[in-house]
């Protein structure tokens, strides 16, 4: 009987020691995870201007992929269907989500889930043409986002979804009665805020609008630009993409708008810190 009790005591002691060891291992792993979460994403946070937090190893792999595709994008291909062989995505998001109606009008957004953890969220949707499916869905997805819709015609936003402005985007001169980017931000008291998403479809006027936007204060540049690129002179198209690249944007998403035709493409651009490109 005493021998049996001794066996039980030894077994109990071994179990206690094992539990203690497992507990210490768990604590060590928890500290390691905390360290990774707090420190290992410093580089990605810096080079994405505070948008992306991921390990240095994963981030540097993304940078290598970007550089390889960016070099390929620099090679011009004289293809009749221009975008079939030119300007591919250079940066792949952790998560992409299509927001809005299916087909023409909806947009793919890069890492929309990251906006949920931001204290402030500001979205501009330009050229709504009376379709507020994008605004409605993103408001449902991220309720604390402040959403503003713009169009040259007068429409009404759905209740508690967005604020509508009858404004034509331009340089303040062309088109007639247009407003420049700085004047719009000033009127809405957004000059000191980050525009997290600029969704814009202005039927070819993007080629005249963006050069003026990028002449304004760099701090007002949108973090993410969702734009439909329309067919025009190839030199103008090349200049448009070169302009975005010069201002530290990477191509995150590329999609053919089949509803409009083979020459119309939807793009999502994500702004990086200049350090990302070095």
Whole-structure pTM value: 0.84
Task: Write down the pLDDT at residue 18.
Answer: 57
Give me the pLDDT at residue 171, please: 81
Residue-level pLDDT, tens digit, the chain, 278 residues = 545 466 566 566 555 555 654 555 455 444 434 434 446 999 999 999 999 999 999 999 999 999 999 999 999 888 888 898 999 999 999 999 999 988 777 899 999 999 999 889 999 999 988 999 999 999 999 999 999 999 999 999 999 999 999 999 988 777 888 899 999 999 999 999 999 999 999 888 899 899 999 999 999 999 999 999 999 999 999 999 999 999 999 999 999 988 888 889 999 999 999 999 98
What distances in angstroms separate CA 108 from CA 59, 103, 170, 227, one per listed residue? Answer: 22, 11, 24, 10
Alpha-carbon distance 109 to 89, whole Å? 14
Element (H, E) at 27: helix 2-39
Number of neighbours of residue 37 by Cβ within 10 angstroms: 11
| Cβ contact 165:92 at 8 Å | no
What is the Cα–Cα distance from 40 to 53, expressed in whole angstroms? 8
Q: What architecture is the 55-277 domain classified under in CATH?
A: 3-Layer(aba) Sandwich (3.40)
pLDDT for 165 equals 97
Determine what percent of the chain falls in helix, strand and coil, rounding each to the nearest 5: 40, 20, 40
* pLDDT given at position 23: 55
186/62 Cα distance (integer angstroms) = 36
DSSP, res 243: H
CA distance 26 to 21: 9
Six-digit token string for 33: 């995870």
| 258 CB neighbour count, 10 Å cutoff | 10
């Amino acid at each position: 009987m005493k021998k049996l009790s001794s066996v039980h005591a030894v077994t109990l002691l071994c179990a206690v020691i094992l539990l203690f060891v497992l507990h210490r291992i768990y604590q060590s792993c928890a500290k390691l995870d905390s360290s990774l979460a707090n420190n290992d994403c410093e580089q990605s946070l810096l080079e994405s201007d505070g948008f992306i937090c991921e390990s240095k190893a994963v981030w540097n792999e993304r940078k290598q992929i970007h550089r390889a595709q960016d070099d390929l994008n620099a090679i011009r291909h004289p293809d009749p269907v221009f975008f079939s062989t030119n300007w591919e995505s250079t940066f792949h998001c952790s998560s992409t989500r299509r927001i809005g109606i299916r087909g023409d009008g909806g947009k793919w957004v890069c890492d929309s889930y990251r906006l949920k953890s931001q204290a402030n969220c500001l979205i501009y949707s330009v050229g709504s043409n009376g379709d507020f499916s994008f605004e409605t869905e993103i408001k449902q997805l991220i309720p604390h986002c402040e959403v503003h819709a713009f169009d040259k015609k007068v429409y009404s936003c759905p209740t508690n979804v967005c604020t509508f402005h009858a404004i034509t985007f331009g340089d303040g001169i062309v088109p007639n009665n247009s407003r420049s980017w700085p004047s719009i931000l000033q009127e809405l008291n957004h000059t000191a805020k980050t525009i997290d998403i600029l969704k814009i479809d202005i039927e070819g006027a993007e080629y005249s609008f963006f050069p003026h936007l990028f002449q304004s204060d760099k701090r007002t540049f949108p973090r993410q630009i969702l734009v439909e690129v329309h067919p025009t002179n190839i030199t103008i198209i090349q200049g448009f993409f070169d302009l975005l690249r010069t201002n530290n944007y990477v191509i995150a998403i590329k999609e053919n708008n089949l509803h409009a035709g083979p020459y119309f493409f939807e793009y999502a651009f994500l702004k990086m810190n200049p350090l990302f490109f070095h």
